[in-house]
C-alpha cells in the first residue's frame, strides 16, 4: 500500500463545546451592543474561521510516462497514485516533448511519425510525420513550427502549420550533421545548435532561413549541450575527453576547453544561468562550473552512473537520478550539501517535478515503474526516505512529463544522458 505523506491526509477539526442557555438579561445585553463592536466581532469571527479552514489538497496532476518496451504512454494520477489510462503510440517511444501553449504532448520514436496526445482529453489526437529515425524534436516558442533531428542521417526536418492546427513536415530537410550527439534551441527560437560527434564540431542552423550559418570545432565526440538563457554561450560535453567546451554563439567562436577530470555525460544549467552542473558518464562525480567566468569551481560526490538531473525553479535544489545504484539525491545547491538520498531501484533515468514542486517522479526502466518522492526541501532529511510509492506503468519507461492544469506548459523535466534535453534557453 502506498505510503502517502501525512500532510495530504484530511485534518480533524477540534470539537467545540455547545453554549448553555442564556438568560433574558444576557440576550438583551447582546442586542444592545454597539454596531461598531458587532462589526469588529464579526470580523474576528471571519478571521477565526479562515484560520481553521483545512489546507487545500494537492492538485491532481497527471504524469505521462513513455514505455519504450510496451509501445505506449501511461497516464498516472498523482492524487490517487493510480494509472488512469494507457494510450497506444508509435513503436518504441524514446521521449516526450510538450508543444508550447497548445495542450499537446508529442511522443517521439524512430517510426518516422510522432504521436500527438491531447492532454485535456487524454486521447491520441493525431499522428504527425516528422522524418524517419527521429531521435530529437524542438518546437519554436509559439509552438507553430518544429525541427526534428534524424539520429541516423543527421538531417533536420522542418515542420510548420497554421495557428490552431497541428504542424506537419514541410518537405524541407537539411543535412546538418554526420552523427548527432545533442542539440539546443536558443530561447528566441532563431538558432538551432547541433553537435556533430563524427566531425568534432558544432553546427549552427538558422531556423527561419533553414540554412547552416557556420561550424565551430570542439573537442572529440561532442554530445549534450546547454545554452545560457540569453543565448550568448553554449556549453558542450565532450564525449571522448575529460572536458567541457564553451562556445560564443553570436560570434560562433570557441572560447575555452575546460578540463574537469571526468568524462562528461549529462549537463544541467541552473535556471538563472549562473552555474553548470556536469554529471560524469561513469563513477559518481558531479563537477560544478562557473558559467559566467568559465571556471571549474569544485567536484561533488553523488550516486553511481548519474543519468539525469533537474532543478527547482528557484535554483536552490538539484535532484539527481543515478542509474548505477538506483538512487535519487536532493542537493542543497548553495550550501553544497546532500538533503536526502533515497533508494528507488529500477535504474532511474528521467525526472519530472509537479508544477507545484510538491512531488518528484522518476522513470525506472529496469523494473517497469515510476517512483514518486517528496520534493519539498523543508520535508527532506538525510535519515528518512523520501519515497512515497512506486507505480507500475509498462515495459521500460524511459521518459516522464507532468503538464500544468491540463495543458502542456510549465513542465519541469530533467536533463539526461541518452538524448540531450536542452530546450529553449537551456
| Predicted local distance difference test score (pLDDT) of residue 282 | 85
| Predicted local distance difference test score (pLDDT) of residue 291 | 97
Q: What is the pLDDT of residues 31-85, one digit of tens each?
A: 334 444 434 334 434 333 333 343 344 567 999 999 999 999 999 999 999 999 9
Specify the long-range contacts of residues 109-118, CB closer than 8 Å, at least 24 apart: 109/134, 110/134, 110/135, 110/151, 114/90, 114/148, 115/73, 115/87, 115/89, 115/90, 116/166, 117/64, 117/73, 117/87, 117/89
Residue 240: pLDDT above 90?
yes
> Mean pLDDT throughout 187-211?
97
| Predicted local distance difference test score (pLDDT) of residue 152 | 87
- When mean pLDDT is compared across 11-25, 197-211, 351-365, the lowest value belongs to 11-25
Grid cell of 204 as nine digits: 549552427
Q: What is the pLDDT of residues 260-282, one digit of tens each?
A: 999 999 999 999 999 999 999 98
Average pLDDT, the chain: 85
Which helix (H) or strand (E) segment holds residue 51: the answer is helix 35-51
**Domain edges within the chain:** 302-426
- Please, are residues 370 and 359 in contact by the beta-carbon 8 Å criterion? no
CA distance 270 to 76: 28
Angle, vertex CA 357, rays to CA 318 and CA 146, nearest 5: 85
- Please, are residues 4 and 10 in contact by the beta-carbon 8 Å criterion? no
Q: What is the CATH number of domain 302-426?
A: 2.130.10.10
Q: Please name the residue that has the C-alpha cell 573537442.
A: 219
Least Cα distance to 68 among 384, 312, 366, 413 occurs for 366
Residue 41 gets which letter from DSSP? Answer: H
CA distance 77 to 60: 6
pTM: 0.83
DSSP collapsed to 3 states, 52-81: CCCCCCCCCCEEEEEECCCCEEEEEECCCC
- Please, are residues 239 and 222 in contact by the beta-carbon 8 Å criterion? yes
| Predicted local distance difference test score (pLDDT) of residue 413 | 62
Alpha-carbon distances, residue 350 vs 94, 379, 421 (angstroms): 11, 22, 10
| Predicted local distance difference test score (pLDDT) of residue 322 | 97
| Predicted local distance difference test score (pLDDT) of residue 360 | 98
CA distance 116 to 161: 14
| Predicted local distance difference test score (pLDDT) of residue 43 | 44
Res. 358 pLDDT band, cuts 50 70 90: very high
- Residue 162, SS3? coil
Amino acid at each position: 500500500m502506498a505510503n502517502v505523506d501525512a500532510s495530504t491526509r484530511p485534518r480533524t477539526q477540534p470539537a467545540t463545546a455547545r453554549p448553555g442557555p442564556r438568560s433574558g438579561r444576557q440576550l438583551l445585553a447582546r442586542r444592545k451592543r454597539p454596531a461598531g463592536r458587532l462589526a469588529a466581532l464579526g470580523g474576528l469571527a471571519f478571521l477565526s474561521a479562515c484560520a481553521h479552514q483545512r489546507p487545500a489538497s494537492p492538485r491532481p496532476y497527471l504524469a505521462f510516462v513513455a514505455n519504450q518496451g510496451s509501445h505506449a504512454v501511461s497516464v498516472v494520477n498523482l492524487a490517487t497514485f493510480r494509472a488512469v489510462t494507457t494510450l497506444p503510440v508509435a513503436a518504441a517511444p524514446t521521449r516526450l516533448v510538450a508543444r508550447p501553449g497548445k495542450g499537446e504532448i508529442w511522443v517521439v520514436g524512430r517510426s518516422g511519425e510522432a504521436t500527438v496526445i491531447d492532454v485535456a482529453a487524454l486521447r491520441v489526437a493525431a499522428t504527425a510525420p516528422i522524418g524517419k529515425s527521429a531521435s530529437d524534436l524542438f518546437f519554436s516558442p509559439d509552438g507553430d513550427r518544429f525541427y526534428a533531428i534524424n539520429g541516423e542521417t543527421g538531417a533536420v526536418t522542418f515542420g510548420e502549420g497554421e495557428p490552431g492546427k497541428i504542424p506537419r513536415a514541410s518537405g524541407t530537410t537539411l543535412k546538418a550533421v554526420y552523427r548527432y550527439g545533442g542539440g539546443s534551441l536558443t530561447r528566441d527560437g532563431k538558432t538551432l545548435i547541433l553537435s556533430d560527434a563524427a566531425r568534432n564540431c558544432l553546427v549552427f542552423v538558422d531556423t527561419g532561413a533553414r540554412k547552416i550559418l557556420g561550424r565551430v570545432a570542439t573537442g572529440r565526440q561532442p554530445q549534450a549541450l546547454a545554452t545560457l538563457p540569453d543565448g550568448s554561450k553554449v556549453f558542450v560535453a565532450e564525449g571522448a575527453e575529460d572536458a567541457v567546451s564553451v562556445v560564443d554563439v553570436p560570434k560562433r567562436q570557441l572560447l575555452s576547453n575546460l578540463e574537469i577530470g571526468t568524462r562528461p555525460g549529462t549537463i544541467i544549467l541552473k535556471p538563472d544561468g549562473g552555474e553548470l552542473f556536469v554529471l560524469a558518464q561513469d563513477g559518481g562525480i558531479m563537477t560544478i562550473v562557473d558559467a559566467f567566468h568559465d571556471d571549474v569551481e569544485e567536484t561533488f560526490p553523488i550516486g553511481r552512473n548519474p543519468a539525469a538531473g533537474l532543478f527547482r525553479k528557484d535554483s536552490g535544489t538539484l535532484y539527481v537520478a543515478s542509474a548505477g545504484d538506483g538512487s535519487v539525491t536532493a542537493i542543497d545547491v548553495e550550501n553544497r550539501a546532500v538533503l536526502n538520498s533515497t533508494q528507488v531501484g529500477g535504474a532511474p533515468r528521467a525526472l519530472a517535478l509537479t508544477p507545484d514542486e510538491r512531488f518528484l517522479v522518476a522513470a525506472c526502466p529496469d523494473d517497469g515503474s515510476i517512483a514518486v518522492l517528496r520534493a519539498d526541501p523543508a520535508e527532506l532529511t538525510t535519515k528518512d526516505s523520501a519515497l512515497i510509492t512506486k507505480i507500475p506503468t509498462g515495459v521500460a519507461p524511459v521518459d516522464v512529463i507532468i503538464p500544468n492544469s491540463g495543458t502542456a506548459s510549465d513542465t519541469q523535466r530533467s536533463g539526461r544522458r541518452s538524448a540531450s534535453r536542452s530546450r529553449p534557453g537551456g
